[in-house]
A and B are shown apart, each in its own frame.
Chain A
Amino acid sequence: MSDSSAIRLAGVGKRYTKYEDAPALVNTTRQLLRGHRRSQLWALRGIDLDVAAGECLGVIGRNGSGKSTLLQLLCGVTAPSEGRVRVRGRVAPLISVGVGFHPELTGRENIYVNAAILGLRRQEIDNKVDEIVDFAGIADFIDTPVKFYSSGMFVRLGFSVAIQVEPEVLLVDEVLAVGDLAFQMKCFERMRAIREQGVTIAFVTHNLTIVRNLCDRVVVLDHGNKAFDGAPDAAVTRFHELLAEVREPEGSDIGWAVHKAGVATIEVEGLYADGARTQSLRADNSVVARLVVRALADLRDAYVGVAVHAADGTLVYSEPDLATTLPALTTNGTLTIDVRMQPTLPTGTYALSAGLYQRPTGPGKAIQLAVTPALSFHVVGRPMVQGTADLGANFQLVDGQSTSVR
């Protein structure tokens, strides 16, 4: 283990046994009679990871990609089935805000319990208790049983304890998504400060904005494997690609469309502004997305649609071009479609994807033939505009009266 690494994983895998929902006795008997072993599932496999001391690592991935298992391994709750996990320094998992809080005990009593669980000595807790109460901002309620707390107060107290443990390695799991906005900002600022103190942070989250703003490096997990490891922006792009790659099984129902593979493909060939290919757009300048459709079999009654997602995965905009039916194609025929759009968006990174659909022959749902992997692009929005959309407000003074102060 080199001196600089705080976390090192070598060939780490974690296997779980699937349990069927039957009493253990039934399962065991069945197993003995049939002589077969329980089916097993690798939640993580072949993970190599080296995090330097002071680095802030983000971990993103879809649900079930192994993120939580990774965190559990890092805080030692569970052991790897293969490979080796090594962590240096005191670990504080922020996974578990308020774990061990007893509803009947007061806030102050719970501070002692929670801090002891996180590994503080009684003496250390005595020294920190005022700071914890202060940060949580619940001094008036500190001697009230926590069951009378609002959920916000509960979380604030839990977060305050965890953050005062002064860990060398901090593991965070989605906890910043709680509490009111003011407290979230406070937590976020505290996380930054902690990072600046040289604490190693591993961050598991769905919030891609936080990943971009806080992390030095991001790992993307997919089906228990490491799909990407590198710069946050590139990781987010890779994550969007993975999201777009989710292919529903043929004939499955995805709500408004039925999926059917093998008829055609579609890709976003590129984005063009002022005739030049670019991925950096300005809100006041229109952009053209060039889509290329290729038929793998005979293609009729098809139309396209586009969608734009924000970095945190929110759908910003989507629209199918129902008015235009594409010309029929035979196998290997191609079509190029230009989609002109006005990227009136606030500054940020977005992902563009396109889909190819076929009109149903009778009444029924449209058939999804293909979707593109997401193409990420950056928008420089109008100054001071924030939010998910730029509605182009036009402020106009209609009537006014000046009053003078005597």
Chain B
Amino acid sequence: MSVVLDLDGPRTTVRRLAQQAWEARELIAILARREFFARYRRATLGVVWAIALPLLQAVVLAVIFTRVARLPLPGNAFVFVFSGMAAWAFFSAALSAASTAIVDNSQLSSKIYFPRVALPLVAVASNTFVAVVNIVIVLIAVYTSGVDPTVNVLLLLPGLALLIALTAATSALFAALHVYFRDMRYLVQAGLLLSFYLTPVFYPLSRAPGALDVIVRLNPMTGVIELYRAATVGADAHYGIAVAISVAWTLVIGATATRMYANFDRVFADLL
């Protein structure tokens, strides 16, 4: 019988935290499954909605950008916009659900201990299905729209990985902050609303609006979207820099979140 609990203060070592989070992987998977299936449980069409909604969004974008508004975009306009949208939609949906996860699950987290970082990760994981559906739609669009697919299509894999890592790190950080500042919920909503326009979803990075150019280039999501673009219609010439910036953001946010959890993981319950 080993010592499983040894507490002399709220602080946990990063090593212990990482170990606990790793041990909780099955729990995260089971909870994410619960979340995902419970969401569609009473709907007659059930999980079909998880595919239908992203598909509908793609169709709407296709109609708008190829028939209604003919923007001068590089390559196929629909593929261009949708490969940006595919990444953004996941980031936005997962982050808004995950950044309140610890507080939303207070009924659970004030009764029993498991590493609290599991809760935002569950919210992110339960949204990954949509990210994968979106990637599939992107692939279908690439192969049917006359864009010449190259081996670059494989860049969607690191793109998806970076997207999930960035979303997970950001969600974990905001979920922890939200316990202390309940305004976080609204700040995240406001931030997402604004940053949609500061992310090159329906314009190329090279044509970012003048004064905002720097902000768009430093935007953590820009690198992810550029990776998606590189896989489909071709990205900005210097997209490598954008990707590096995204990776750097992911590491910085991840490290900050880790620090927060190491300090506060065991006392979140006091504030719920």
Contacts and interface: CB of A to CB of B under 8 A. Distances in A.
B114 interface: yes
A76 B108 CA distance: 13
Contacts of A168: 1
Interface stretch (B30-38, B59-67, B143-151, B161-169): B30-38
Interface stretch (A108-116, A251-259, A279-287, A346-354): A108-116
Contacts of A89: 1-2, 4
B170 to A, nearest CB: 22
A238 B143 CA distance: 80
Contact of B30 (A1, A96, A104, A112): A112
B240 to A, nearest CB: 41
Nearest to B268: A78
B69 interface: no
Contacts of A112: 30
A76 B31 contact: no
Interface stretch (B7-15, B47-55, B188-196, B248-256): B7-15
B5 A99 contact: no
Interface in B235-271: 266-267, 269-270
B34 A79 contact: no
A125 to B, nearest CB: 9
B4 A88 contact: yes
A84 B9 CA distance: 7
Contacts of B6: 84-87
B55 to A, nearest CB: 24
Contact of B181 (A1, A24, A145): A24
B7 A80 contact: yes
Contact of A99 (B7, B37, B107): B107
Contacts of A53: 1
Contacts of B9: 79-81
Nearest to A118: B112
A232 interface: no
Contacts of B270: 16, 78
A88 B266 contact: no
A117 B7 contact: no
Given A16-B270, A116-B31, A121-B26, A87 B182 contact: no
Interface in A273-292: none
Interface residues of B, number: 34
Interface in B86-128: 107-114
Contacts of B73: none
Given A76-B113, A76-B266, A105-B41, A87 B34 contact: no
B4 A91 contact: yes
B3 interface: yes
B31 A113 contact: yes
B222 to A, nearest CB: 32
| Chief secondary structure at chain A's binding surface | mixed
A100 B34 CA distance: 10
Nearest to B270: A78
Contact of B5 (A25, A76, A83, A105): A76
A90 interface: yes
A391 interface: no
B115 to A, nearest CB: 11
Contacts of B31: 100, 113, 116-117
A397 interface: no
Given A79-B9, A99-B107, A86 B113 contact: no
A93 interface: yes
Contact of B111 (A79, A84, A95, A145): A95
A112 B30 CA distance: 8
A363 to B, nearest CB: 50
B27 interface: yes
Contacts of B107: 99
Interface string A114-131: 001111011000000000
A341 interface: no
Given A76-B266, A95-B112, A100-B108, A116 B30 contact: yes
B42 interface: yes
A88 B2 contact: yes
Contact of B113 (A16, A75, A109, A122): A75
A116 B33 CA distance: 12
B4 A77 contact: no
B27 A117 contact: yes
Interface in A60-108: 72-81, 83-91, 93, 95-96, 99-100, 102, 104-105
A16 B269 CA distance: 11
B269 to A, nearest CB: 5
A24 B111 CA distance: 24
Contacts of B5: 74, 76, 85-87, 91
Contact of A109 (B34, B42, B182, B269): B34
A93 B111 contact: yes
Interface in B189-234: none
A117 B3 contact: no
Interface string B132-171: 0000000000000000000000000000000000000000
Contacts of A85: 5-8
B111 A105 contact: no
B34 A102 contact: yes
A168 B10 CA distance: 24
B269 A77 contact: yes
A145 B108 CA distance: 19
B121 to A, nearest CB: 14
Nearest to B6: A86
Nearest to A3: B1
Given A109-B37, A117-B31, 11 more contacts: A24-B182, A75-B113, A77-B269, A78-B266, A80-B7, A86-B5, A93-B111, A104-B42, A105-B41, A116-B26, A145-B41
7 contacts: A1-B3, A75-B112, A79-B10, A88-B2, A95-B111, A99-B107, A113-B30
